[in-house]
Chain A
């Protein structure tokens, strides 16, 4: 379970988040939609302390922290309970696929190498890359790199995985395979997942709940069915009209 309460964040005078509250249960997949600049990515980055939120609270299971009071130790604890999948993969360029997956286990969690290797191997198997243990990132395609990044995330057995537009840097033909992998792993593991994406079909298939963000707040939330077929808010309707111009949906 992961819960964000009343998160505020400004960059200078620009208020990006104006009190966002999100709760995700284990095994649930939350998809966050919204136009660019609405604060989706900032929300994820704040959750993992890649940005420091100005205000708000974070609960991950039994661990509770206040954003602006978080100490270095708290931040590390949050990061060791969560995993992040980046838009542009961010695999460690100086390490092979297997080492990439092992890094967090061995260096951060002090797990013995043999054990970490087993877990990393299994994680790479899950994303369909059993044959690529020794490949360096530059020897892998974008889709393969993102799958390694997903393996790196699930190997940590985190309480929550945060996906930040995981397919938007990929070639169109690679989007499908990557989304399938995400679908498989988030359903397999009993993890709370938050996915920021523009892939509407993914959202409607996989999401337990869809959050629509606009101008730094959650404008509307509901099941995919509710959001896609009966959006209540005018700005949700406008957004969906822009994103799904050809699909007919009922208002």
Chain B
């Protein structure tokens, strides 16, 4: 029989799905941290044309951005334990599934972050580095004090859209059995056979999360613009 959407059921589902947000946020935060860290290393290797690392970064980037994230998720989930078993004789089979999701999304977004950071770093005028050298700063001091703050400011919009994109991408984590928002939805759906209400409920949470994050990021951007470059502040 054809079922219409039951709005009351949507409201009933909301609190049941809610705990899934924790796992989703957990994945987003840790995967972003991993992605940003690896991405920064790759970007520095590429900007400074570090031999070998530079070429590896290019290949890595084209693989990560050229394959669907679900494929990468499966490769990490099934492949990583095999790899560890074979080469290090370490058994990962009992490790929590969410760790694999974090690694997969971390690596996946690192490729995007490396492009964002590469653009941001090479966008800082070369004169800034020369001026830093001329007042006696070392390369590392120049990076930390002058180049990185400027690059970070221009990377922020990219970071923001990458994090928000990741929220939506995490909806694939349920495919290996992680109970995030979509995992909860699956549970409700198979228990009640009312999938549509559960999906609507998920949509509400995803929209809410991305709206909130967008707000946070634009607030951070405003603060940094005035702190880092004095934009918007009085002379």
Residues on the B chain within 8 Å of A86, using CB:
127, 130-131, 134
Partner-contacting stretch, out of B42-50, B141-149, B200-208? B141-149
Is A76 a contact of B138 with CB atoms below 8 Å? yes
Which secondary structure characterizes the binding site on chain A? loop
Provided the pairs A86-B127, A90-B127, A94-B149 are in contact, do residues A152 and B229 lie with their beta carbons within 8 angstroms?
Answer: no
B11 contacts chain A at the CB level, 8 A cutoff: no
Provided the pairs A92-B146, A93-B229, A103-B145 are in contact, do residues A50 and B127 lie with their beta carbons within 8 angstroms?
Answer: no
Residues on the A chain within 8 Å of B134, using CB:
48, 50, 79, 82-84, 86
- Per the bound structure, the CA–CA distance linking A50 and B231 in Å amounts to 30
Partner-contacting stretch, out of A25-33, A134-142, A212-220? A134-142
Q: Which listed residue (A79, A92, A136) contacts B136, Cβ 8 A?
A: A79
Provided the pairs A94-B149, A135-B235 are in contact, do residues A79 and B133 lie with their beta carbons within 8 angstroms?
Answer: yes
- Per the bound structure, the CA–CA distance linking A46 and B234 in Å amounts to 39
In the assembled complex, how far is the CB of residue A127 from the closest CB belonging to chain B, in whole angstroms?
16
Please provide the chain A residues from 100 to 135 with a CB less than 8 Å away from any CB of chain B in the complex.
Answer: 103-104, 107-109, 132, 134-135
In the assembled complex, how far is the CB of residue B43 from the closest CB belonging to chain A, in whole angstroms?
19
Is B128 a contact of A156 with CB atoms below 8 Å? no
In the assembled complex, how far is the CB of residue A164 from the closest CB belonging to chain B, in whole angstroms?
10
Report the nearest B residue to A88, measured CB to CB.
B127
Q: How many residues of B contact A (CB 8 A)?
A: 24
10 nearest CB pairs, A to B: A136-B230, A104-B135, A108-B136, A84-B134, A90-B131, A80-B136, A90-B127, A139-B235, A94-B149, A94-B228
B residues bordering A, Cβ < 8 Å? Answer: 125, 127-128, 130-138, 141, 145-146, 149-150, 153, 228-231, 233, 235
- Per the bound structure, the CA–CA distance linking A95 and B149 in Å amounts to 10
Max count, chain B CB within 10 A of own CB: residue among A82, A90, A94:
A94
Q: Which listed residue (B128, B135, B231) contacts A152, Cβ 8 A?
A: B135
Max count, chain A CB within 10 A of own CB: residue among B130, B131, B141, B235:
B131
